[in-house]
Amino acid sequence: MSYQTIEVRPLTPTLGAEVSGVDLSAPLSDQQFQEIHDGLMAHQVIFFRDQDITLEQHKDFGRRFGPLHIHPSAPGPAGHPEILRIHADENSKQVAGHRWHSDVSCDPEPPMGSILHIHTVPSIGGDTLFASSNAAYEALSAPMKKFLGDLSARHDGGPNYNRRAQINGKPGDKQYPYADHPVIRTHPVTGKKGIYVSPVFTQYICDLPEDESRSILDFLYAHNRKEQFVCRFTWKKDSIAFWDNRAVQHLAMWDYFPRVRSGYRVTVAGDKPF
Ligand code: SIN
């Protein structure tokens, strides 16, 4: 793919690319938007450096890709319901996203993409890992692809969000969205198929007995996170990661306690998986 307005440097042959030559605090031209979108489709997760953006500029960038999603469990800062604060320090009992997941896959129409700006980085640690669900699907055998192709799985936000609330001393008894999604989803833009189950939200595979469901899910989780499908991003101050939730899963490494890591995420709404 050739780009006129940005430079795109792949990080691995499978996924991840660093994008330079664009200032995300300024409105994007149509060509810049199209090329960033093309880069995201080609590499599934893209990274920007040295982007000192405000919350408004962050939201404006996200809105170029679609309406913004409002998180079901974490209210944004005052006046910014579309912003999810990502923060950990010496008082934290947990962090967001430290197990593999695709964001808010419990929603009937889960987010298309997430744009995370980290403005405060720990002196060491705090990387984010991304795993290509498209590449992991492609590597499955033909009989396994056929078997999985007919299945759907229950995703539920309750167990995750309520457990997180309880860890923070809150009751943890709220209702959260749930939905059944295909175990293998088709990307609406690239047409690629990808594994769409992950440990944070998936509860079981529908229509299978519990032991079969557990074994298949454990196999898929272990398969999707194999080294050859994973890239790892080390943050610097004012880095931005933009990932496609329809193509990758991710995990935020919490290896930096009691250091501070802080930023904001804007999440772009998506469609019903098929
Ligand atoms: C998340 O959005 O799941 C958190 C990712 C991170 O903090 O790196």
Catalytic-residue membership of 103: yes
Domain that holds residue 222: 7-268
Catalytic-residue membership of 155: no
Threshold 0.95, pTM exceeds = yes
From the list 272, 265, 226, the residue with the least C-alpha distance to 249 is 226
Residue 84 covered by a domain? yes
Pick 79 or 6 by higher pLDDT.
Answer: 6
CATH number of domain containing 211: 3.60.130.10
Residue 143 covered by a domain? yes
Burial group, residue 202, by CB count within 10 angstroms (0-12, 13-18, 19+):
buried
Residue 193 covered by a domain? yes
| Percentage of residues in the chain having pLDDT higher than 90 | 89
Strand order in the sheet with 202-205: 178-182, 152-156, 202-205
Single-letter amino acid, residue 251: L
Burial group, residue 191, by CB count within 10 angstroms (0-12, 13-18, 19+):
exposed
Please state the φ and ψ torsions of residue 20, each to the nearest 5 degrees. -130, 170
Distance CA 180, CA 201 (A): 11
Q: What is the pLDDT of residue 170?
A: 87
Residue 203 — pLDDT band, cuts 50, 70, 90? very high
User: What is the tally of structural domains in the chain?
Assistant: 1
Residue owning the nearest CA to atom 2 of ligand 1: 97
Catalytic-residue membership of 250: yes
> Which DSSP category does 67 fall into?
P
Output the 3-class SS for 135-151.
HHHHCCCHHHHHHHHCC
Residue 274 covered by a domain? no
Residue 259 covered by a domain? yes
Residue owning the nearest CA to atom 3 of ligand 1: 97
Distance CA 224, CA 198 (A): 9
Residue 133 covered by a domain? yes
Tens-digit pLDDT profile for residues 95-139: 999 999 999 999 999 999 999 999 999 999 999 999 999 999 999
Residues 183, 186, 189, CA angle at the centre, nearest 5°?
A: 150
Distance CA 30, CA 2 (A): 16
Residue 2 covered by a domain? no
Which residue has 């998180």 as its token pair? 71
Pick 74 or 39 by higher pLDDT.
Answer: 39
| Section 220-247 average pLDDT | 98
Residue 273 covered by a domain? no
From the list 174, 179, 184, the residue with the least C-alpha distance to 201 is 179
Residue owning the nearest CA to atom 5 of ligand 1: 252
* 73 CA → ligand 1 middle, Å: 15
